[in-house]
Amino acid sequence: MPLTTLDRCCPGVEGNITHLSGEPSLVRRLMELGFVPGTRVFVVKLAPLGDPLQVVVRGYHLSLRRLEAQSITLEVNEVTNE
């Protein structure tokens, strides 16, 4: 399955986190919010102006900018077309 960063995922994409990269304090905060390797992430939608994204992680909805989403690398599982 292909690896990609979260900021490049379209709505409907679902994947498992393989690793996080980038500034340590950001990585730590993302992990504390539940984005640890192995966790499933689902992209719900983009904001009307294309940024930020809305994702579901560990059963809750979070919005993050593409800039921060770049730190999260996923292995894409499936794409459900809305």
Partner 1 sequence: MSSCHSHAASRQRLSGAAEPSNGAEAPDRPRYIALVGNPNAGKTTVFNALTGMRQKVANYPGVTIEKKEGRCRTSSGRQVILLDLPGTYSLESRSPDEDIVRDVLLGLQEETPRPDMVVVIVDSSNLERNLYLVTQVAELGLPVIIALNMLDLAESYGREVNVNLLHQRLGMPVVPLVARKGRGVDKLRQYLDDYPRDVEWRIPLPAAIQTEKESLAAGLSQSLGVDLHLADALALRMLSNEELAKKVERRWGHNWQPRVAAARRRLADEGVALSSDEPTTRYHWITDLCEDVMSVPSHEVKTLTERVDRVLTHRFFGPLIFLALMAFVFQSIYTWAQLPMALVESGVTHLGRFVSAVLPEGPLASLLVDGVIAGVGAVVVFLPQILFLFLFLAVLDDSGYLARAAFIMDKLMSSVGLHGRSFIPLMSSFACAIPGIMATRTIDNRRDRLLTILLAPLMSCSARLPVYTLMIAAFIPNTRVWGFFRLPGLALLSMYLLGILMATAVGWLFRQTLFPGKPAPFLMELPPYRSPALRNVAITMWEQGWQFLSRAGTIILSISIVLWFLASYPHYRPKPGESPAAVAGAQIRHSYAGRLGRLIEPVVQPLGFDWKIGIGLVGSFAAREVLISTLSTVYNVGNADESSVTLREALRRERRPDGRPVYTPLVAVCLMVYFVLAFQCVSTLAVVKRETNSWGWPLFMMGYLTTLAYVVTFALYQVGKAMGWG
Interface contacts to partner 1, rule CB under 8 A: 20, 23-34, 36-37, 39, 44-45, 47-52, 54, 58-65, 67-68
Q: How far is the CB of 16 from partner 1 (least distance, A)?
A: 13
What is the spatial distance between Cα 71 and Cα 68, in angstroms, rounded to a whole number? 6
DSSP for residue 73: E
> Is the Cβ of residue 2 or residue 59 nearer to partner 1 in the bound state?
59
Closest CA to 73 of 12, 30, 29: 30
- Taking the complex as a whole, how short is the minimal distance between the CB of residue 25 and partner 1, in angstroms? 6
Write down the number of H helices and E strands in the chain: 2, 6
Closer Cβ to partner 1, 2 or 50, answer by number: 50
